[in-house]
Structure 1
Amino acid sequence: MSNLVRILGCGSSTGVPRIGGVWGACDPNNPKNRRTRCSILVQKGTTKVLVDSSPDLRQQMLDANVGSVDAVYYTHDHADQAHGIDDLRVLAQFGRKLLPVFADPQTQKTLTKRFGYCFEGFGDYPAILDMCDLEDGSHVMGDDGHVLHVEPFVMHHGRINATGYIFDGKVAYSPDVHDLPDESFEKLKNIDLWIVDALRYRPHPSHSHVEKTLAWIKQVGASQAVLTNLHIDVDYEEVKAMCPDNVIPGHDGLELVF
């Protein structure tokens, strides 16, 4: 079985189209412009890791035909990354054990307060998730013994820090980022595949924009890159024509082997 990463969703916080059928500059006749909120699934053998639980998680997992994961890693606590957390119940029930969830301290604090029942249980409903520290999540092993190595790195996302992840030293994920510290750029040098925020064409206070992201990709020497967190401003074919040969815009359901 190939090692792969699947783009479960690559849309901005309101998705594409927005409620009301607002497509912005995106061609509604191109299915690659229909985007759910950002999330990825990383698979090595039968070991599967989910990054973030978007509000669209149920449909994303149905579309991917995935019914179980071995762990969940959170980038940060914003609604478009976290508010599908209740749908993790089904994944925990499948495994018949608490599902390990990894997050930085601020995200841990927010999620355990906002969704306490998931971690402590409530009434007749048992807990479904086990909150774990990032330093304890350096690897995940599934039932077949395949070990997926996970390395976090710091991202600046507006007024907060978020967490990016590097899987097996090959695949990096940065869905919400407007800047990176030097040590994170160092970790990303010569990465095989970087899935990275490119919200729109104009600068934004908490997200990178297309021109800036393309410069980052060149700076780190990524072999291949995929643009994600794409807003209604960014039409798939239009931005694809602007990208160098080693960069493509993401679309929901895109799978890449690593």
Structure 2
Amino acid sequence: MAEQESNVIAPDAELLFLGTGTSMGVPTLGCPCDVCASTDPRNNRTRSSIVLRYDDPEGTQRTVLVDTGQEFRMQALRFGVNHVDAVLYTHGHADHVLGFDDLRPLTFGKAANMPLYADDSTADVIERIFDYTFRKKDRYPTSARVDLHRLSDEPGTTIDLFGATIERIPVLHGRHEIAGYRFGSLAYLTDMSDLPEQSYERLQGLDVVILDALRREPHPSHSHLEKSIAIAQRIGAKQTYFTHISHDLDHGPTEDELPKGIHLAYDGLRLPFRIHNSNEAAQ
């Protein structure tokens, strides 16, 4: 009997979780709780950030970073991130931007400045904090060599980045709208308290969705475990991973109670996925 041709499209990209923790990290300073004292390495959570790796049309591997938290330097050293081609920012809070200056050595000696992408409010924060990098007069001579591109917050905004189409997904973070991103068959929606109705329409057909799930109790600016499960089930991705996790959630026991197809992420977890659409991948 002839072997049937598979309709499964092989992954062409990889996501690496550099960090999966909340703004205070886990262990949290001064906290004696069981999770902060845990010996399970999955409970050691640095600030939330991811790296994507995929090939451009010429076959060169590209590395795209999402957010630069306070521990970016240590995360990059731990996981061997020695090259970054571009950075996407979700919003301007400290745990997502304060590692910006550690991009400096990764931008030196390059033919072109490293592109950064952020919406207006986030770009304003970055330019204000790191004024010495962006000011025209008396710019610090060894500042990062970067170009900051401002993204529209209109639904459907996309970036063509090294042959891949990346879509900005509106996300609610308390009373403010921030940026999530869709990368082909995967979406990354950290620091989410809820999703605008229009964003659900842009999250159809996902293999993987990554959502905020801070703790068990409700929080004013982050989704909690029960709510994140409900949002995941409505989105309907094949697999869901929770990130931006506080010390309220012990990895092993929490993982055991989650519905099928829903997991807690952890620092160092790698996920294969498709960054190009099905038609592109099948050609």
CA distance in 2, matches of 1:242, 1:128: 46
Report the residue type matching 1:20 in the other structure: G
**1:128 maps onto 2:128 in alignment:** no
* Counterpart pick for 1:68 among 71, 74, 83: 83
Spell out the pairing of 1:91-130 with structure 2 (5 A cutoff).
91-93=106-108, 95-120=110-135, 122-130=139-147
Residue deviations 1:87-145 (CA, integer Å, cap 9, x gap): 0112212635321110011111111111122233724335522110225961211xxxx
What residue ranges of structure 1 are gaps of 5+ in the alignment?
A: 142-146
Distance in 2, matches of 1:119 and 1:23, equals: 42
| Contact 2:168 2:179 (C-alpha < 8 Å) held by counterparts | yes
Letter in 2 for 1:187: R
Question: Identity percentage over the alignment?
Answer: 37
1:139 partner amino acid: D
Matched position secondary structure for 1:63 = helix
Structure-2 change in CA distance of 1:232 and 1:94 (3 Å):
farther
SS in 2 for 1:214: helix
What does residue range 68-87 of structure 1 map to in structure 2 within 5 Å?
Answer: 68-87=83-102
Corresponding residue for residue 45 of structure 2: 35
Matches of 2:265 and 2:143, distance apart in 1: 37
Give the secondary-structure state (helix, strand or coil) at the position aligned to 2:202: helix
Name the residue aligned to 1:257.
272
Please name the residue that 2:3 is paired with: none
Kept in 1: contact 2:103–2:144 (CA 8 A): no
Q: Is the 8 A contact 2:105 2:144 kept in 1?
A: no
Pick aligned residue for 2:161 from 123, 136, 140: 140
Q: TM-score scaled to structure 1, two decimals?
A: 0.92
Computing the radius of gyration over CA atoms, which structure comes out larger, 1 or 2?
2
- TM-superposed CA distance for 1:153, in Å, is 1.0
Q: Residue in 2 aligned with 1:158?
A: 174
Structure 2 vs 1, CA of residues 227 and 126 (structure 1 numbering), >3 Å: closer, same or farther? closer
Query: Comparing 48-57 with 180-189, which one deviates more in the overlay?
Result: 180-189
Residue of 192, 206, 230 corresponding to 2:221: 206
Residue type at the aligned position of 2:141? D
Contact kept? 1:112, 1:119, Cα under 8 Å: yes
Is residue 50 of structure 1 aligned with residue 60 of structure 2?
no
What is the Cα deviation at residue 149 of structure 1? 1.7
Q: CA 1:245–1:94 in structure 2 vs 1: closer, same or farther (change >3 Å)?
A: farther
Q: Structure 1 pair 67/25, CA: closer, same or farther in 2 (3 Å)?
A: closer
Per the TM alignment, residue 2 of structure 1 is displaced from its structure 2 partner at its CA by: 4.9
Conserved? CA contact 2:101–2:144, under 8 Å = no
Contact 1:165/1:174 (<8 A) preserved: yes
TM-score when normalising by structure 2: 0.84
Give the alignment's Cα RMSD to 1 decimal: 1.8
| Shift in CA distance, 94/228, structure 1 to aligned 2, threshold 3 Å | farther
Alpha-carbon spacing, 1:25–1:65, altered in 2? closer, same or farther (3 Å):
closer
Q: How many residues align?
A: 252
Q: Gapped runs of 5+ residues in structure 2?
A: 1-10, 56-60, 274-283
Equivalences for 1:224-235 in 2 at 5 Å? 224-235=239-250
- The equivalent of 2:279 in structure 1 is none
Letter matched to residue 115 of structure 2: P
Change (3 A) 1:243 1:129: same
